[in-house]
Chains A and B, each alone.
Chain A
Amino acid sequence: MTSSIFMHPATMFIVGALLLPLFKKFNAQKIWLVVVPLLAFIQIKYLPASFGCVEWLGFKMQFGRVDQLTMVFLHVFTLMALIGSIFGLHVKESGQHAAAWLYVAGSLGTTLAGDYLVVFIFWELMAFASVFLVWYRKRKRSIEAGYRYLLVHTFGGLVLLGGIFLRYLNLDGDLSFVAITPDTATLADYLIMIGFMLNAAVPPIHAWLPDAYPEATVTGAVFMCAFTTKTAVYVLARGFAGFETLAIMGAIMTLYGVGYAVIENDARRILAYHIVSQVGYMVCGVGIGTEMAINGACAHAYAHILYKALLFMGVGSVLEMTGRSKLSELGGLYKYMPMSMIFTVIGGIAISGFPLTSGFISKSMIIAAAGANHQLILMLMLSLAAVGTFLSVGIKLPYFIWFGPNDCGLKPKEAYWNMQVGMFMAAFMCIFLGVYPDYLYDMLPYVVNYHPYNSYHLTETFHLLGFTGLGFYIMVKYLKPHDVSNLDLDWFYRRGAGWFMWLARKPISSTNEWVSNVYQNIGLRFTMALARALSWFDWEGIDWALDGSARGVVKGGEQVRQFQTGKLQHYIGAAVALLFLVLIVVVLI
């Protein structure tokens, strides 16, 4: 066995990220960007079933636990890291790549974690690293969206942590991350589930996703669409399979997301809403909880990561080359970016579930599992969402970007070569999985007894897709995009924050001012006089009597002050860097 020489995949990405600036200095950043994910991708096959067990401050922590369920996700996460890194090769800023890799590390660490404490550590790493992918866009809107994203995820993390603490109390210190059955679930388990559901973007706690993703950088969005929600699907599948709440919420998600995808205008916002819809399938599959449904959820997560990233790469290329992502400002680009067009259309037909693409062999598995479990309403909801998927992402999005009723007049260049390579890899996988589903089915946690290519499934698909196309053809004038955005539940905290600020500024602040005026006029004078007397005594009396150390401290303090830039991003960056160092030390020892 080669298992004696392996490295935790998360450590690989963390070390890789820390060394990036060094490789940049020697002009080898591009090589490093390919080598590290490639090594990680190859290496996951050699991971032992259990590793990295440490005792730390009385906690038993397990950094590595590998089984079939872990393996599917590890496989697609590392593959996606490779594709995403190649897609982003042209980006010169090491910081952006480092943030992406730390984010990947968080996701891999969560996937491999054997106990809740390790889950929580990497969970937070994911949130704090990914927010930089939004901030690196450097526009005012992105900075604001990043802060909202961070606050919402901090809230979710706290709920998760609360659940973990309660579980720790309930189970006498056993924090191992194992399946929970719905009958024995307590408040602690539900808190954990809510924390996970926030990352899976289950309504009503989903609005962070369509708020932040469209504001991320071009490559940042490609990474973000793959990891946060799918890691959440993994942890839900690991811990909460068979919870009926999840099945119902998942089915609602599929329609909620697709409904917004039909009416939105910004291409990346459409795709972001559509993630909500697609993750809904997976959450629903996890909730149904049968072997076939869990298989379906994993297969769909695998397929979804690839085609959704492909779509984000396609519209990202358009954004990179034209600076635009609103459908109302695009049209007729097929003449100038034909390769990007072909790849995006492949992503579009794959997500819609055309035969011979990955969507056909994965999505149908969840729908069939709902049918086999006699959950008719869920099955029809999922089928309706499939109609909406083809309508919004399969037809509307490519049509208004690449063709459309009128040309936008732009003549952009084709996307950079590395972007095309990234898109080609994802597009290849979409078709490869459709043609050879057993490659994916063999990786799934349970034995697969499902054959997607039967005549009934084919005729069902032809009908659903063909007549959705007819519906689009009839209504295309009505679907013409306008430059608007739609309210969503983030209204509560975006407007709510405004009211809170008003409250803080007006009544609370004025009361505060009045009190401090009173204090300044009466109390402060007295205190100041006393302080001056004491200070004189301390400075001249005691410090003189000792060795002048107070003067030394004052000087040192002046110097330390220079380090504090006052920018919250710097502090978070430093804190995250410190966390990685601790992690590396813990993992390596």
Chain B
Amino acid sequence: MIVNFLTYLRERPNMMKWLFMAVLAFALVFDFFADRHHAHFWGDHINEFWAVFGLVGCLALIVFCKGLSHVWLERGTDHYDK
């Protein structure tokens, strides 16, 4: 059953995309209603701060780590056997 359901979803990437966007939109709207009494620092007072942090952080991690791997760290899996 679950397999059929997942296959159903997998065959509809557009629908998934819009669903995902809807979730993100909900998260952005929800932020305006959150109680900010427990703020630890200035970022906690800015609406959507963690959204920007998440997106920029994620992209930066991918670009930095993948880049470093490409130019320096990447080796064949049998590197030490040679």
Give A contacts to B, CB under 8 Å.
258-260, 262-263, 334-335, 338, 342, 368, 371-372, 376, 379, 383-384, 387-388, 391, 403, 454-460, 462-475, 478-479, 483-488, 494-495
Q: A263-B65, A338-B3, A368-B40 are in contact. Are A455 and B35 (CB under 8 A)?
A: yes
Once the chains bind, are A335 and B41 in contact (CB under 8 Å)?
Answer: no
Once the chains bind, are A460 and B62 in contact (CB under 8 Å)?
Answer: no
Taking CB atoms, residues of chain A closer than 8 Å to B26 are 462
A240–B50 Cα distance when bound, in Å, is 33
A382 to chain B, nearest CB (A): 12
A487–B73 Cα distance when bound, in Å, is 5
Which of B2, B54, B59 is most buried by chain A, counting CB atoms within 10 A of its CB? B54
Taking CB atoms, residues of chain A closer than 8 Å to B34 are 455-456, 458-459
Once the chains bind, are A471 and B54 in contact (CB under 8 Å)?
Answer: yes
Taking CB atoms, residues of chain B closer than 8 Å to A488 are 73
**The residue from A454, A467, A475, A484 contacting B62, defined by CB atoms under 8 A apart:** A475
Taking CB atoms, residues of chain A closer than 8 Å to B55 are 467-468, 470-471
Q: A372-B40, A462-B30, A467-B24 are in contact. Are A262 and B61 (CB under 8 A)?
A: yes
Which of B28, B49, B55, B79 is most buried by chain A, counting CB atoms within 10 A of its CB? B55
Taking CB atoms, residues of chain B closer than 8 Å to A263 are 65-66, 68-69, 73-74
11 contacts between A and B (CB under 8 A): A259-B61, A262-B61, A371-B40, A384-B61, A387-B58, A456-B37, A456-B39, A463-B53, A468-B54, A475-B58, A486-B73
B18 to chain A, nearest CB (A): 12
Once the chains bind, are A471 and B66 in contact (CB under 8 Å)?
Answer: no
Taking CB atoms, residues of chain A closer than 8 Å to B54 are 387, 463-468, 471
Q: State the 10 A-B residue pairs at the shortest beta-carbon distance, nearest first.
A: A471-B58, A371-B40, A467-B54, A463-B50, A462-B27, A486-B73, A467-B55, A463-B51, A459-B34, A263-B69
Which of B26, B31, B61, B73 is most buried by chain A, counting CB atoms within 10 A of its CB? B61
A486–B72 Cα distance when bound, in Å, is 9
**The residue from A465, A469, A475 contacting B59, defined by CB atoms under 8 A apart:** A475
Once the chains bind, are B65 and A484 in contact (CB under 8 Å)?
Answer: no
Taking CB atoms, residues of chain A closer than 8 Å to B41 are 371, 376, 379
Once the chains bind, are B65 and A479 in contact (CB under 8 Å)?
Answer: no
Once the chains bind, are B77 and A262 in contact (CB under 8 Å)?
Answer: no
New A-B pairs, 9, CB < 8 Å, besides A342-B2, A475-B62, A487-B72: A258-B61, A388-B61, A454-B35, A456-B38, A462-B30, A463-B54, A466-B23, A467-B51, A485-B79
Q: A334-B6, A485-B75 are in contact. Are A472 and B65 (CB under 8 A)?
A: no
Once the chains bind, are A470 and B57 in contact (CB under 8 Å)?
Answer: no
A455–B58 Cα distance when bound, in Å, is 23
A403–B9 Cα distance when bound, in Å, is 12
Taking CB atoms, residues of chain A closer than 8 Å to B79 are 485, 487
- Count contacts on B: residues with CB < 8 A to the other chain: 49
Q: Which residue of A lies closest to B52 (CB)?
A: A467
Once the chains bind, are A478 and B61 in contact (CB under 8 Å)?
Answer: no
**The residue from B3, B33, B48 contacting A463, defined by CB atoms under 8 A apart:** B48
Taking CB atoms, residues of chain A closer than 8 Å to B20 are 469-470, 473
Once the chains bind, are B59 and A471 in contact (CB under 8 Å)?
Answer: yes
A448 to chain B, nearest CB (A): 15
Taking CB atoms, residues of chain B closer than 8 Å to A483 are 77
Taking CB atoms, residues of chain B closer than 8 Å to A479 are 62, 66
Which of B33, B36, B50, B77 is most buried by chain A, counting CB atoms within 10 A of its CB? B50
Once the chains bind, are A466 and B65 in contact (CB under 8 Å)?
Answer: no
Asked whether B80 is an interface residue with its Cβ less than 8 Å from the other chain, the reply is yes
Taking CB atoms, residues of chain A closer than 8 Å to B53 are 383-384, 387, 463-464
Taking CB atoms, residues of chain A closer than 8 Å to B65 are 259-260, 262-263
Taking CB atoms, residues of chain A closer than 8 Å to B80 are 494-495
A263–B33 Cα distance when bound, in Å, is 37
**The residue from A334, A371, A460, A494 contacting B50, defined by CB atoms under 8 A apart:** A460
A260–B61 Cα distance when bound, in Å, is 10
Once the chains bind, are B7 and A262 in contact (CB under 8 Å)?
Answer: no
Q: Which residue of A lies closest to B81 (CB)?
A: A141
Taking CB atoms, residues of chain B closer than 8 Å to A462 are 26-27, 30-31
Q: Which residue of B lies closest to A332 (CB)?
A: B10
